[in-house]
Structure 1
Amino acid sequence: MSRPPRACACGRIVPHGQLCVCQIASKRARGRRYDAKRPTAAQRGYNQEWRKARIEFLRLFPCCAMCGAPATVVDHIKPHRGDERLFWDRSNWQALCEGCHNRHKQRQEAAP
Structure 2
Amino acid sequence: MATILVVDDSASLRQVVAISLQGKGYTVIQASNGKEALSKCDGSKINLVVSDVNMPIMDGMTFVTEMKKLPRYKFTPVIMLTTEAGDDMKNKGRAVGVKAWVVKPFKPDQMLTAVAKLILP
Asked which structure has the greater RCO (Cα within 8 Å, sep 6+), the reply is 2
Alignment TM class, shorter chain as reference: under 0.3
The structure where strand makes up a greater share of residues is 2
Q: Which has the larger radius of gyration?
A: 1
